[in-house]
Structure 1
Amino acid sequence: MVCVDFTAVVKNGFAGDIDDEILSYIVNVLSSSQEDFSTGEDVFEAIGDLLMECDSNEVKVKKFCESLFKQMKKDPENTRSNNVKLLDAPVSIGESTTDNTFESANSASFWAAKPHENTMIDFEANEALANSKKDRKKEVTNDTSKPPPEAVASQSISKKDLKSENDGRNLTKDIHIEDFDLSFGENILFINTSLHLNYGRRYGFVGRNGIGKSTLLKAIANKSLMIPSHISVLIVEQEVHGDDTLIIDSVLESDKVLTDLRKKEKKYTEDGNSTALAEVFNQLELMDADSAPSRAAEILAGLGFTPQDQKRTTKEFSGGWRMRVALARALFMKPDLLLLDEPTNMLDLAAIIWLEEYLQKWASTLFFVSHDRRFLSQVASDIVYAYNRELELYKGNFDQFESTKSERMKNQQRQYEAQQQYREHIQTFIDRFRYNANRASQVQSKLKLLEKLPELKAVDEEAEVVIRFDGCEKLPAPILYLSEVSFWYNKDNPNFVNVDVNANLESRIAFVGRNGAGKTTLLKLLTGDLNPSKGFRHAHKNLKIAYFTQHHVDQLELNVCPMELIAKRYPGKKEEFYRSCLGKFGVSGNLALRQLNTLSGGQKSRVAFVLLNMQAPHFLILDEPTNHLDMETIEALADAINNYSGGVIVVSHDEYLIKKTCKEVWLCKDKGVQILEGGITEYRKLLEAELI
């Protein structure tokens, strides 16, 4: 390991763009985590966000991190440094030469950087960051010997449909997928069920986590299930690749027909081919090509891109924002069938409100998975319900679906029970007179009657979703607060100015605001992952905070089952203990023994909640906890939050969760926070007023 003067290297790379405080923070992160880095990407993950506050060019920052990593890993014998470091503790050279990597205990004292005396760096937080990075690298392992499970589909296709498809006579844009089966790995998802989507309708797709909703969308998109070949299908599931393409151009180029016509227009103009050029102009006019740039800009603006953002390149944006670009491209292209898998996960409430209004006017067929009750009620014209390996269609939006489903299940159970009584009555007659010769004809008649009765099914009640956080010990006040806190990466452009936030073990607080308003930054100030640039943070000396983000879910080790995962994290316990921990979050039975790469996003989130709970926290800080959760699990999470004996702070776009759990709603805006007396309803009204 090489001794690197991190201060000099960072200053040279970002001369004049980085202030002393953020520089000191970066230097301490690099010093404490130097031995944990195995690639330049690891360096970027640790300090990339901070450096991009100084220079938004992601490619430049990544190259800098790669160069920095190479400097750290140079052979010490071939490296000379004029900056001599004094060892804080004796080191055995013999031990160090047998292994190129030092244990974390040694690395803490080997090249220990000396902080400037007047800085406010939290060394415990830096050490925690280093340890967490080491843990994450242990967790994220790929078992290449086991191929990922695949979806397998089969369906019944009539000769008539096949003939009309082959002859090109099937011009309808309605979709009928009859009698299909779908499995994923060893899990059978749907059996002998059918899906009918009429053109121009908007279908919300609901059902429990793990029932196969996302798998069905992918099977339709990749044509594993046959639909008419003339129907254009588009699914939004991957972010746009980051390159030098401008955001606005990325959306415009998604329309291949328009792009090809523009190329022909240029070619025929240069060639002087007036006849061909006239035909191109006619086609451009028919597709209203002149309005394309304004339509693309309108969609991007609705999804949160400012006019300045639209002229930036895709590589300058994070994965979440590039997912918004992918959604914008899909909306711009207007396919015959648009498939969306939880589109609200990547959006803030302002963008969700805009998308609701935009999709209400969607002209072609929309089939989307969502667990957002309000979004479903605002957008869906019909509901497809995945239940018991079958699909059931309900007319109307989600509110109508809930009432209709309840009534339908009551009727189904009544009819089943009535038929069972009728069957028992007939069977009693048969058993009584089976051997009576005088009644033989009547018995035969009754037997035939039983055979002709339709087979009715009892309502198969879905298991109740369980989520239960353990209680925590009481702590005397004050528990956690920020006092006159200001924070900045760049002092000339602070993120927050003079913020006061006070939380205790009874707190149920929601932070709301547009993306980029600083909600996550505020959470990190509360957790201690970031230190105030001005003012101070107080936390009770015994306070334990558990912090949930979607990143924690994404970093779960996928080649093990939940039982193995928590046993690795908390070794030395009996199987019953691990089962009990998982059972509190509905991860029980065979689900606890399935590999994580076969679980749905919502099921993985529940496993992450288990790990959160095992920290025995006094305070839960949850950043978008409802992403991928089905409605029943969101309901259970809300109940668990209400019953939890510690404090809770939530950042969420889910209005239902906030309404049901949070006593206070704080708006992050204009470098500060303000309480909204009207709660989440007031915030929605503010956003709706801005969109008018």
Structure 2
Amino acid sequence: MLTIRDITVRLGGRTILDQASATIPNGGKVGLIGRNGAGKSTLVKTVIGELEPDGGSVDLPRRARLGYIAQEAPSGTKTPFEAVLDGDTERTQLLAEAETCTDPNRLGDVHERLIAIDAYSAPARAARILVGLGFDEEMQGQPLDSFSGGWKMRVALAALLFSQPDVLLLDEPSNHLDIEATLWLESFLSSYPGTLIVISHERSLLNRVVDHICHLQNGKLTLYPGTYDSFERLRAERAAQAEAAKASQEAQRKKLADYVARNSARASTAKQAQSRAKMLARMQPIATLAEDPSMRFEFPSPDELRPPLVTLDMAAVGYEEGKPILRRLNLRIDPDDRIALLGRNGNGKTTLARLIARQLEPMEGETNFSPRIRIGYFTQYQVEELPEGSTPLELMTRAMPDKPPQAVRNQLGRFGFSGDRATSDTHTMSGGERARLALALVTRDAPHMLILDEPTNHLDVDAREALVQALNAYEGAVILVSHDRHMVELAADRLVLVDKGEARAYDGSMDDYIDFVLGRNQPKAEEPQRANEAKPARKSGAVAREELKALRRKVTEAETAMKRLQTRLAALDAALVDPASAKGDLKGLGLGAIGQKHTEVTEALDEAEMTWLEASEALDEVMGNG
């Protein structure tokens, strides 16, 4: 087992880990989680010996091999296939020794060890791993220097997985992956024979792969059995208990203070009042979960536009003259659309997003945009290219030159940059803070459509959940490119598959798509002599599958609508209680107008719930008959 014993690490005068302890069982699969900046990467670097702790120790089984991806991506003229094979250094050394060894006894030992480590099937295993991570046969034979940084990091991950260390440590392994490669990685890790510690903010990965959650908070480690969902339920229960205890204490505090105020001046009760005053002074406040500004996402509501916002009619798009990447694009986007673009990296999702964002002109066909449309386009490049030496207030002021200072402050406040945070240097910001600032900048003019290309890469699990809620409350259209399936499932109600040079509607749910990617619903080959006999059965099976897909889609769409309407209803409830606290399009409205909106949303929610109930019952019936 791996034992982390009272580890303390101080960096730059700040205590990152404070006597942190945890025991990881042999073969355990542990998800290491915590807020951005909590010290997760610092802990992993301490475990692998890259950082010397100020106190404590890390104990590993004797001869246990640790595996961790280096920060430097591999490069040079080697191919991905060669780089992965070289990842198993023992195999490489033994094969070299087998070529030169002249001692028969030693040569026998070498070949025995090669057989023990399954060295001769290694090329096939290396190829399977590379295919799983998105490298086809042609790509496996190209030089590393021909790939982008993200693809090189995939090669580094493939080499590490191929080497099969006894203790595998992964830090955000899915950041450079698409949904398809992430699904393969989850399947690979769930059956990994060694011990696994993975830093991840992917809820789906943490639910499918790990059997323990190790939570790093305030420099301490707490190990919980189970998946992320079970950890979150326990955390919610503890938060509710703390909130109830705090409310009870506040009531007691108020009662004591009231007694002291009423009885201090009277001689007959002065001693009792003095005693209660001392009790009040000794009462330690109970801490609850403080509101974290990093959880703040609020997209400004756009003014209304008549549909459609965008139409593509047999459009083609690419980067080189005469060489379209995508052809025959037919797509209509309305103000209430929530569309997720699916497909492997390199198939053209970002190219399609840039066409819709008006950053690329069509090579063929037509694109039509609503005349007054405003589009907010978010990419990782905007996060990485935020100028250092500037503050959020300076950047937003430059981006909103015609707006008064209060409007600039309001936009920053929607994303957690209020007070001193608005004047902090971007150089000191975490990746999550920079991502929030980039989102604040691209939504400054209340766009009618948001295009988000991998918006979660720098966000922790809680921040991703806050972003999902903000997207569901947003009243414009959303185009989403993300490998975070949880976000796609909750924030999108239309799926578009970008594949083989085209983009077409995917008629199914995310569950259907996952089954498709994993090969669980691929058509099976039939024996020739039975093909004709099977046609009627195939036809009726296809009809049943289409009916099932339609019902699943209807259930999913109704669930998405219900979540969005429930979020809207909560905002309206709060505005009815305190109109001064109203935000977005509710700000400044009277109680009558707010009440009217409340009635409309309540009726819409009732209708969505009825639709969901009917579709769910129909789905249960179809599945039961199947």
Same fold, TM exceeding 0.5?
Answer: yes
Matched-pair contact (CA < 8 Å) for 1:239–1:325: no
Q: How does 1:595-610 map to 2 (within 5 A)?
A: 595-610=425-440
2:311 corresponds to: 481
Q: How many residues align?
A: 494
SS class of match (2:174) = helix
Letter in 2 for 1:247: P
1:249 aligns with 2:76: no
SS class of match (1:497) = strand
SS class of match (1:542) = coil
- Give the counterpart of 1:212 among 39, 48, 67: 39
Percent identity of paired positions between Structure 1 and Structure 2: 34
- Give the counterpart of 1:378 among 208, 211, 221: 208
2:343 corresponds to: 513
SS class of match (1:345) = coil
- Name the CA shift for 1:625/1:335 in 2 (closer, same or farther; >3 Å): same
- Name the CA shift for 1:424/1:660 in 2 (closer, same or farther; >3 Å): closer
1:175 corresponds to: 3
Q: How does 1:528-543 map to 2 (within 5 A)?
A: 528-543=358-373
Q: CA deviation at 1:478?
A: 4.0
- Name the CA shift for 1:494/1:571 in 2 (closer, same or farther; >3 Å): closer
Q: Summarize deviations over 1:27-81 as a string: whole Å, max 9, x none.
A: xxxxxxxxxxxxxxxxxxxxxxxxxxxxxxxxxxxxxxxxxxxxxxxxxxxxxxx
- Give the counterpart of 1:315 among 139, 145, 149: 145
1:331 corresponds to: 161
1:194 aligns with 2:194: no
Q: CA deviation at 1:534?
A: 1.2
TM-score by length of 1: 0.65
Q: Summarize deviations over 1:275-314 as a string: whole Å, max 9, x none.
A: 4323322332232211221221111111111122111111
- Name the CA shift for 1:416/1:583 in 2 (closer, same or farther; >3 Å): closer
- Name the CA shift for 1:179/1:322 in 2 (closer, same or farther; >3 Å): closer
SS class of match (2:205) = helix
What is the CA–CA distance in structure 1 between the aligned matches of 2:519 and 2:323, rounded to whole Å?
28
What is the CA–CA distance in structure 2 between the aligned matches of 1:232 and 1:580, rounded to whole Å?
52
- Give the counterpart of 2:52 among 208, 224, 246: 224
Structure label with greater radius of gyration: 1
1:463 aligns with 2:292: yes
Q: CA deviation at 1:463?
A: 3.2
- Name the CA shift for 1:580/1:337 in 2 (closer, same or farther; >3 Å): farther
What is the CA–CA distance in structure 2 between the aligned matches of 1:217 and 1:285, rounded to whole Å?
33
Q: Summarize deviations over 1:590-624 as a string: whole Å, max 9, x none.
A: 44444334332222111111111224422211111
- Name the CA shift for 1:408/1:637 in 2 (closer, same or farther; >3 Å): closer
What is the CA–CA distance in structure 2 between the aligned matches of 1:537 and 1:305, rounded to whole Å?
33
What is the CA–CA distance in structure 2 between the aligned matches of 1:501 and 1:238, rounded to whole Å?
40
Q: CA deviation at 1:517?
A: 2.0
Q: CA deviation at 1:263?
A: 2.1
What is the CA–CA distance in structure 1 between the aligned matches of 2:404 and 2:332, rounded to whole Å?
40
Q: How does 1:60-75 map to 2 (within 5 A)?
A: none
Q: CA deviation at 1:382?
A: 0.4
- Give the counterpart of 2:97 among 259, 264, 267: 264
Letter in 2 for 1:396: G
What is the CA–CA distance in structure 1 between the aligned matches of 2:198 and 2:512, rounded to whole Å?
28
Q: CA deviation at 1:391?
A: 2.4
Matched-pair contact (CA < 8 Å) for 2:32–2:215: yes
2:273 corresponds to: none
Q: CA deviation at 1:383?
A: 0.5
What is the CA–CA distance in structure 2 between the aligned matches of 1:691 and 1:265, rounded to whole Å?
45
Q: Summarize deviations over 1:96-130 as a string: whole Å, max 9, x none.
A: xxxxxxxxxxxxxxxxxxxxxxxxxxxxxxxxxxx
Q: How does 1:114-133 map to 2 (within 5 A)?
A: none
Mean Cα displacement is larger for which, 340-349 or 382-391? Answer: 382-391
Matched-pair contact (CA < 8 Å) for 1:182–1:216: no
What is the CA–CA distance in structure 2 between the aligned matches of 1:216 and 1:591, rounded to whole Å?
27
Q: CA deviation at 1:352?
A: 1.2
1:283 aligns with 2:113: yes
What is the CA–CA distance in structure 2 between the aligned matches of 1:624 and 1:473, rounded to whole Å?
26
What is the CA–CA distance in structure 2 between the aligned matches of 1:424 and 1:646, rounded to whole Å?
45
Matched-pair contact (CA < 8 Å) for 2:239–2:289: no
TM-score by length of 2: 0.71
2:557 corresponds to: none
- Name the CA shift for 1:420/1:523 in 2 (closer, same or farther; >3 Å): closer
SS class of match (1:177) = strand
Q: How does 1:32-181 map to 2 (within 5 A)?
A: 173-181=1-9
- Give the counterpart of 1:498 among 320, 328, 340: 328
The unaligned stretches of length 5 or more in structure 1 are 1-172, 426-446
The unaligned stretches of length 5 or more in structure 2 are 256-277, 523-626
- Name the CA shift for 1:691/1:259 in 2 (closer, same or farther; >3 Å): farther
Letter in 2 for 1:521: T
SS class of match (2:497) = strand
What is the CA–CA distance in structure 2 between the aligned matches of 1:190 and 1:421, rounded to whole Å?
36
- Name the CA shift for 1:590/1:488 in 2 (closer, same or farther; >3 Å): closer
Letter in 1 for 2:137: P
- Name the CA shift for 1:651/1:279 in 2 (closer, same or farther; >3 Å): same
- Name the CA shift for 1:670/1:542 in 2 (closer, same or farther; >3 Å): same
Q: How does 1:20-31 map to 2 (within 5 A)?
A: none
1:556 corresponds to: 386
Letter in 2 for 1:406: A
What is the CA–CA distance in structure 2 between the aligned matches of 1:317 and 1:536, rounded to whole Å?
33
- Name the CA shift for 1:414/1:546 in 2 (closer, same or farther; >3 Å): closer
